[in-house]
Structure 1
Amino acid sequence: MAISLEEFAATLAELLSERLSADGDSWEIEYDRRAMQLKLMNAEGRLVASRLLAPYYHDYVKADAEAAAAKMQSLIASLCKATALPNKYNWVVPLLDARLTSLWDVYKLNRRMSKLAVGERLREPDSVPFLAVSEHLAIIAFVNAPGRTYMVTNRAIKNWGVTAKQIFDDAISNLRDITDGAKLKPKSDKTGTLHYYQSAWPAGDHAARIVLDDLLLGPVAGEPVFLPVGAKSLIIAGSESPVGLGRLTSALADTDALLPPIPLVHSGDMYTPWVPPLDSPLHELTRTYELKYLGTIYGEQRPILFETVSDDIEETFVAAFDLHQDKNGRWCTSAMVTEGVPVTLVPRVEWVTFMRVNVASQSGQVMASNSWDAVAKVLGNKIEKTDLYPVRYRFVGFPTDAELKAIGVHDQNSAVHPASLVKKVGTAKTGAPAKKAPAAKKAATTGKKSKN
């Protein structure tokens, strides 16, 4: 290409200005002839990006017309990485980043965005789409530009003219491209028995890699148990390896668990909580971690729901998720339904108690108390599942005397406990297959239906 360095710089500045102006922000582009440097500054005059043009120029003039145009566009794209979110999807694709987070954090974020829209009188609130991989975990997407990271929202997706599924397919594809299987370090003993894997990738979200196919280079002892600790830690242990399970246990104890502290296994298209055998010392330990996590998110959800139903507070009551220890020190869950309330939103618990309250004497009487399954068998369609997260059920009215008698009054301490509450909790209602993410066939959730 017969062009001078000054002409190259002028062409670059013109094309860069045209591309940046499409995003609606003001930018200043300056070319320093002495230093042969192009500088990009924001509206406040702060230097955002700069490039020494000599090496780019020499590559440009040596190339044919098609290759030269591609090099120019590549240089422009590299400068745009430090600016506002690009307005064309083909610019975005190489920058997409998949990250694993708790589904509860996504719901809280979408609620804040919805409230912000009301405060600013926006016609349509924005929200964050997500791809559920388990009941409590989801993938969200980011545009990972140098010096600045943008969370992908449904408004941006609409502007790009693509779907949430396309976003997640491309973000996970990028994650696969930077994933070296050798960086998932196997931990073996002197006999060669492989006990667990510990992540050691230099880049990308470690935990998010649970959506990738063929992550393991070799089998572990028993069923692979996944513990996504956080952005920089993923542990995969063998369910029949004492050493592997010991590493998993120490990870649960040593971390504040930015992600739900719940070990996972593959189950169909999703991940589900791992339930150790009843005679395993880990059975009650993992169950305790899960129940305490549920107690935390149900506790945060309750005031939000009270705020949501404030206009109908006399019609709807939000029951507490009661987490307590029985006489043997075992953690148990229960909730209470009180007579006189038309609708009670009840969390998914092991035990339900029905109370009749005498307001005058400020006393109450237990009319019935039994396991969730026993109550559901009697009340049938008087219990309606909602689309709230964490899950709640709408108990309509109060049982009749005949229903109360059928439920009976039982002591939770003497009940035969189920193997684990997790066996009774359904998987997330939407999301692509956890192991087959790039070939996802289920639509990603837009996040617009959050009730929390």
Structure 2
Amino acid sequence: MGMFDFLFGPSKQERFAQLLMDRIRQAGETKEIVFHKEEFQLRFYENGEEAGVANLNNLYAEYCSIAKADRNEFLSQATRALLSYRKEVPEDFEDARHDVRPVVRSKAYFEMLRLEQHFRGGPPLNLPYVDVGQHLLAAPVYDLPESIRAIDQELLDTWGVSLYEVMEIAKQNLEDAEFVVGVVGEKLYALASGDSYDAARMLLIDHILEFKLEGDPVAVAPNRDSLIVVGSDDEDGLAMMLDLIEQSISDPRPISAIPVRLIDGEWETWLPPQSHPLYRRFREFEVQSLLGEYEEQKAMLEGVFEEEGIDLFVASYTAIQRNESGEIFTYCVWTRDVNGLLPKTDFVLFGDPGRLGTVASATWDKVEAIVGDLLEDLETYPPRFRVSEFPSEEQIEKLGHDERIGA
């Protein structure tokens, strides 16, 4: 025990993790359970081998948001959900088909698990999904009374069905379930049935197209239990959407505050044009969402690298706002002689410890055009690029200094 642990005791997060571990053991779990503070995870081990991971961020946020009188029941529900892996999923798809559902999540939901497995040298995580714009995914799950179970490629192979087939059946099951649509001022449609599938109802395209909207449908899913839809040409509706995003973005189990627009039956990531009076607010939520995902990814990677002895620097995703215009830019720093992982940002600053200030600054597109061969795309989300070599002096000169971000 460290000095500060002795003086002040464990943190609230540590106490929560201990409460949950105690409940899981009392419920009969025989695997070894270890709390990893840096990543805020419980890891399960069997015969010395890792046998499961439980990320605690969302559970803890939900635990803190409810009344103290309800927390005991919440811990019981969380325990049942974490132990739901013991329940067998039918091997015959005909026995399982009525309980498959679709979910919509941030791509970070799966991709951070994949990235962690990659750097730990574990077996590849094969969780199939469909892109929903740039930042969201849709995936099939098996619905259990206490939780939902992700469906991996191995289970699809056992069932003998494709991702497309199971998603079509999952969407039909979701459509057959009752849900409530609220209408505000004949401008905004809100789905909040409380069954953890409201965000996924953006996949019910025929229902979305029935909404009476000005322009194309624009949707945002701030968390699992809410879906907001307005028209792309309805400024009042878009303003109402922004107000609801602001109210719900800090709720437990967040997804994304970045909207998507329905074009020819497909959802595409959307922001209004920069000339739009609401552009700045939408842009703020876009950056806020990405900043949260990058911070979570950075914390995970730094914890893995420390445990695995990997010498890689995880660069920060940083946002600044110009005082005169209110415009928001994001940037990262690429430093000479540092093996690192860069986030994808609006600008890249180039630093040399032997020289004062930044030696170059350029937009991401310009960096890709001039030194793209030095960027190794990890093909993950949020995007990361590995760099082990610094640009040459000739390339630095070509990159120049972009006055919008400073020299």
Question: Into which bin does the TM-score normalised by the smaller protein fall?
Answer: 0.5 to 0.7
Q: How far apart are residue 400 of structure 1 and its match?
A: 1.7
Q: How far apart are residue 162 of structure 1 and its match?
A: 3.1
Relative to structure 1, the CA distance from residue 357 to residue 169 in structure 2 (aligned partners, 3 Å threshold; closer, same or farther) is: same
Of the candidates 233, 237, 243, which is equivalent to residue 236 of structure 2? 243
Of the candidates 96, 112, 116, which is equivalent to residue 100 of structure 2? 96
TM-score, normalised with respect to structure 2: 0.67
Of the candidates 193, 197, 203, which is equivalent to residue 189 of structure 2? 197
Q: How far apart are residue 146 of structure 1 and its match?
A: 4.1
Cα deviation, 1:351-377, whole Å, max 9, x if unaligned, reads 11111113xxxx744211122223333
Identify which range, 217-226 or 201-210, moves more after superposition. Answer: 201-210
The answer as to whether partners of 1:370 and 1:408 remain within 8 angstroms in 2 is yes
Relative to structure 1, the CA distance from residue 126 to residue 365 in structure 2 (aligned partners, 3 Å threshold; closer, same or farther) is: closer
DSSP-derived class of the 2:353 partner:
strand
The answer as to whether partners of 2:315 and 2:340 remain within 8 angstroms in 1 is yes
Question: Hey, what's the Cα distance between the residues in 1 that align with 2:205 and 2:214?
Answer: 19
Q: How far apart are residue 144 of structure 1 and its match?
A: 2.3
Matches within 5 A, 1:200-215: 205-215=197-207
Q: Which residue type is aligned with residue 150 of structure 1?
A: R
The answer as to whether partners of 1:99 and 1:141 remain within 8 angstroms in 2 is yes
Q: How far apart are residue 313 of structure 1 and its match?
A: 4.9
Query: Is 1:276 aligned to 2:272, yes or no?
Result: yes
- Per the alignment, residue 294 of structure 2 pairs with 298
Q: How far apart are residue 98 of structure 1 and its match?
A: 1.6
Q: How far apart are residue 202 of structure 1 and its match?
A: 8.0
The answer as to whether partners of 1:126 and 1:154 remain within 8 angstroms in 2 is no
Cα deviation, 1:262-287, whole Å, max 9, x if unaligned, reads 12113567533321232333211111
Q: Which residue type is aligned with residue 90 of structure 1?
A: E
The answer as to whether partners of 1:206 and 1:232 remain within 8 angstroms in 2 is yes
Higher relative contact order (Cα pairs below 8 Å, separated by 6+ residues) = 1
Relative to structure 1, the CA distance from residue 344 to residue 202 in structure 2 (aligned partners, 3 Å threshold; closer, same or farther) is: closer
- Per the alignment, residue 221 of structure 2 pairs with 228
Cα deviation, 1:333-390, whole Å, max 9, x if unaligned, reads 111111123x5422111111111113xxxx7442111222233333243334331221
Question: Hey, what's the Cα distance between the residues in 2 that align with 1:234 and 1:410?
Answer: 39
The answer as to whether partners of 1:117 and 1:126 remain within 8 angstroms in 2 is no
Question: Hey, what's the Cα distance between the residues in 2 that align with 1:297 and 1:203?
Answer: 24
- Per the alignment, residue 150 of structure 2 pairs with 151
Of the candidates 350, 371, 379, which is equivalent to residue 387 of structure 1? 379
- Structure 1: runs of 5 or more not aligned: 1-81, 119-123, 189-193, 416-452
Question: Hey, what's the Cα distance between the residues in 2 that align with 1:164 and 1:377?
Answer: 36
The answer as to whether partners of 1:378 and 1:407 remain within 8 angstroms in 2 is yes
Question: Hey, what's the Cα distance between the residues in 1 that align with 2:156 and 2:202?
Answer: 24
DSSP-derived class of the 1:249 partner:
helix
Relative to structure 1, the CA distance from residue 286 to residue 384 in structure 2 (aligned partners, 3 Å threshold; closer, same or farther) is: same
Question: Hey, what's the Cα distance between the residues in 1 that align with 2:194 and 2:393?
Answer: 64
TM-align CA RMSD: 3.3
TM-score, normalised with respect to structure 1: 0.61
The number of aligned residues is 316
The answer as to whether partners of 1:263 and 1:273 remain within 8 angstroms in 2 is yes
Cα deviation, 1:108-131, whole Å, max 9, x if unaligned, reads 45567889996xxxxx57654333
- Structure 2: runs of 5 or more not aligned: 1-85
